[in-house]
Every structure is written in C-alpha cells, then in structure tokens.
Structure 1
C-alpha cells in the first residue's frame, strides 16, 4: 500500500500554463458582468471570438498556408462546441438562477473522465478520480445551497446539455491536439465560434446593440485573452489528459472569486471552503507515485509525438 510519503507533487510546464490561463479566465467574469449591461451575450461572444480569430490569424499567418483538412475539421467541431456552450448557458439563464446554473455546469468535471474512459478508452488514475471528486464538491459549495433546487424545465435541460458540451470540448481538444498545429486550429475554432454566435442572434431575438465604448473595449480585451486561452489549451492538452485539464479548469471560479474580492465582493464561508476543495483537487490529481510515474496520458513515440488516441 502506498503511503503519502511515497507520492510527490509534479506539475509540468503545460499544466502550469493551464493554471495560468484559469487565472486570466477568472478575471474575465468582472469584465463580462460589466459589458452585459451594454450588449447582448451572443453579439458580445461573436465579437470577442472574432477578435481572437483575427489576433491568432495575424500571429500564425505564415502557418495558415499549411492548414490541413484535419485542422479544419477539428477547429470546426471545437468551435461549434464553444458556441453551443455559450448559447445553451445563455438560454438556461433566462429561467434558471445563477446558483443552479453553476451547479449544473459543474457536472462537466465528473463527465470528462467518464467520457475519456468510454470514448478514448483511457481510464483515469486513482489520484485523478479523487481530484475530480474534490473539485466537483468544491464547485457545488461555491454554487451555494440554493443551487440544489433543480427542476426539469427547459432551462435546466439546456444547462445540463451545456455541461455535456463543455466536457466534449475538452475531450475534442485532447483528441485533436496531438495531430494538429495549435496555432492553425485556434484560428479556425475562434472563427467558427464567432460566426455561429452572430448567426444565432436572430434565433434568440437579439439585435445589434447601440455603440458603447464599454462593450467595444471589453470585447477587444477579451479577444486578446481568448486568443491566449484557446491557443494554450490546444498546446497544453497535447500532453495533459482531458481529466486533469478539467480539474485545473475547475479553478476558474476560485480565481474569479479572488479577483472579485479585490473589487469589493465578499465570498460566503461555504464558497471559501469550496475554493479550498478545488485547490486540493488540483493538488491531489498531480500526485504521482515516486517509484513509478504512472500517468493517464499515452507515452510518446520515439519521435517525441504522442500517438493519436
């Protein structure tokens, strides 16, 4: 039997990069909250990802001439999943309170290792499963006691589907990351997410908002953040399993709460405890047996490229 002394904490640079983008991700909550008083969500998402696509295109323009069919297909399905997540959450929030929405959305954390096992045939290791349980418990605590008042209305169903879409997005990134260029696929997925958001505006009865420097400045700032986030996710998930990535992404509301506290918000004690659970989940998921470095990601081939799942 392993004792705690036989384990050591190991973070790869890819995992540290994912932690860094969750800090940026958490900071976007305050910006989005401010922007939503001046614009509709779909227009804002469309503009945000259009800007991100433009930034990635400028940076990786020389690589785009070598765009492959696999990158086009992968970017299209990932971009579609990004759009589905935002549109379903937007629809759900019309009838579901924010606490319940947060709870239902958090279901993506346990869904990822389950789908990874069923679809990619890669069972997660024990420490990853423990980390998933801790992170999910933490997200439930952050959502608060009101979150458990769940019905079976259209809003709840839409939010549940959005959680599934998030899990699929993370899984798709792991599926394609090993066989695509991170820069090129980032351009495609950001453009697809933007285009679908703009096209969906009439379906949701959303019009173009009156001009405001608030939503324009916020969208441009988040375009930079989104470009960095999407590229980092595509790059890091070449070596970080979908399950461990999901646990790290669960830290997003923790950083959002910390930044919100700096802006004057106060977190209730249960939310603070939930934040500790999420941090514990990230740490536990990174524990590796010292004498045997077990992992739930495939070993690289001789050429250093991980085999396609």
Structure 2
C-alpha cells in the first residue's frame, strides 16, 4: 500500500515529468492489486504468518540493496527509523486483519482515509493549521464510508480495524515529516522495513511463522514482497525525486480505485451502487484534501 508522506516545503521539482509520473502510477497500480491477492492468501494462512514472511523477504532484499545508506545513518536517526517502522508494522497488521473481514474494495477506500486523517492528526497533535477544505473532506468521507460500511445500524469490525490502521499511517506520516532528512530515503526505508518485519515476526509468537501452504500462496507472497515491496519502494523513491509532491499525492490517491478495479476484474468483488457512490465520495474527499488550499504540500514516501 501507498504511504503518504510528510508535510514538506513546496518543491521546485518539475511538475510535468512524464517518466516519474508513469513510474509512480505503475507502483500505485501494483499496490492496488495486493488487496485482492492478500484476501486470497489470508484465507489459507494467518495474517501474522503472511506478513512476517512477506516483510522478512522484503527486508533482506532492501538491506542488501541499501547497506551503504544504512551504515551512514547516525544512531539517533536509526532509532527514529526503527520506531517509524514499528508503527507502520502495527498498521499493517490491523489493515490486513481488517481486509480478512471485508471486501478488497471497501478495504482500499477505508485505507485511503489516511489522506484525511493526516491533517486532522497534525491539527490535534502538532497544532498545525487545518484549512476549511479538510473539514469538508471529513464530512464527504464520512458519508462515503457510511455507504460502504454500514449495514443497518452495525459498523463492520473489519472497517473499524482498517480505519485504525489508516490513523496509524497518518501518525507515520507525521513522524516522517519531523524526522526524515534529505538524502537518507533509501537508508530510512530499509531500516523501517526491518522494523516492520520484526513486529510481524513478534505477532507470530510463541510458535513462530508458518510458511505459505502451497505454490500459489508462495507466488503471491513473493510478488508482494518483491514487486509491491522492495521494487515499488525503489521506484517510488526515484519518482519522488523528479516530481512535485502535490503531483505525487494526486497520483497516489488512485490506489483505492485500482484496488476496487482489480478486485472486480478478478471476481473477488462485485460492483454495486454502494461501492460506486461510497467509493466515489471517499475518493473525492481525498482530492479535496490534496487540492485544497494549505501552506504545505504532502509528499508520498
């Protein structure tokens, strides 16, 4: 999944760089495919087992690829990266537990609420100014979420878990905004991936992780570890160095659209009016936040 980024000063990067935009769009599409795939895998192995195997593989690959940037990090930055990775790991567990209980389409749109949660958390925790557009987005997203998740007067537990994960992703974004440094993206990413793997491994205790049960599950896990994990992180970091943060954020809001599209195409989900209207409202809320007037842009990391 896409992790939106910390508040940063307005960038002077070229806004119309085609290749980076296409690269980031491809990464977003890859992340969108994972919702349906995860839904299939967690039906055959536990959530902690799946995440532990996935992120251990991704962590090993990233540490090998970015060993030098990791070794150049000072001790303080190393601990900050570990803390951020641990936070992200807990968010991954909550999100995947939620996805095991709801449809990939609903999960994709509920996860995308981190775009709305981030400025709200910044307002509560850091006393950052919250523009009126954010409050409008909250109202629109709430209506959309109700259409997607409410059945009578009961709110699905899976949706609540996913919303909790989106809030943690928002905290992760704020932490990156305070602690990330220019030129340390690769090292920070690798260390965070290690922390994510450790958190997921701890969730498998006391017995430890079990391996994927069959070849099909292994293919899905490897795809999500390498293509949607290590490679996607590399392409995303490269793309972010060549495009404005506002443009990147707008591209990243397409993730839930890809998630819903792939789920429907693979027959995992059915396109209904609640998905179309509710998802459209939540996507609209994300765009309101990203395009609304504010002093800082958001960069996806």
Pair in the same fold by TM > 0.5: yes
Residues 281 and 23 of structure 1, relative CA distance in 2, 3 Å threshold:
farther
Tell whether 2:151 aligns with 1:146. yes
How many correspondences in the alignment? 276
Superposed CA deviations along residues 31-80 of structure 1, whole A, max 9, x for unmatched, are 21222233221121112112222232233233233122243122211211
- Tell me the residue number matched to 2:47: 41
Say whether residues 1:268 and 2:272 are aligned partners: yes
Task: Give RMSD over aligned pairs.
Answer: 4.1
Distance 1:108 1:148, change over 3 A: farther
Q: 1:162 aligns with which of 165, 172, 184?
A: 165
Query: 1:171, CA displacement in angstroms?
Result: 1.8
TM-score normalised to structure 1 length: 0.70
Matching residue of 1:184? 187
How far did 1:28 drift?
A: 0.4
CA pair 157-23 structure 1, distance change in 2 beyond 3 A: closer
- Cα distance in 2 for partners of 1:286, 1:89 equals 23
- Point out the more displaced range, 52-61 or 263-272: 52-61
TM-score (norm 2): 0.71
Whichever of the two has the greater Rg, that structure is 1
The higher relative CO (CA closer than 8 Å, separation ≥ 6) is in: 2
Does residue 118 (structure 1) correspond to residue 120 (structure 2)? The answer is no
8 A contact 1:106–1:139 mirrored in 2: no
**Compared CA separation, residues 240 and 23, structure 1 to 2 (3 A):** same
Higher mean alpha-carbon deviation, 224-233 vs 162-171, is at 224-233
Q: Does 1:76 align with 2:79?
A: no
In structure 1, list runs of 5 or more residues that go unmatched: 1-9, 289-293, 299-305
Instruction: Note the residue ranges of structure 2 that are not aligned, 5 or more in a row.
Output: 1-13
User: In structure 2, do the counterparts of structure 1 residues 200 and 27 end up closer, same or farther at CA, with 3 Å as the change threshold?
Assistant: same
Cα shift at 1:27: 0.8
Task: Work out the CA distance in 1 between the residues paired with 2:120 and 2:48.
Answer: 30
> How big is the shift at 1:296?
2.9
Kindly indicate whether the alpha-carbon contact (under 8 Å) linking 2:52 and 2:209 is maintained by their aligned counterparts in 1: no
1:17–1:126 Cα change, 3 Å: farther
The Cα of 1:91 is off from its aligned counterpart by 5.8
Q: Which residue of 2 aligns with 1:221?
A: 223
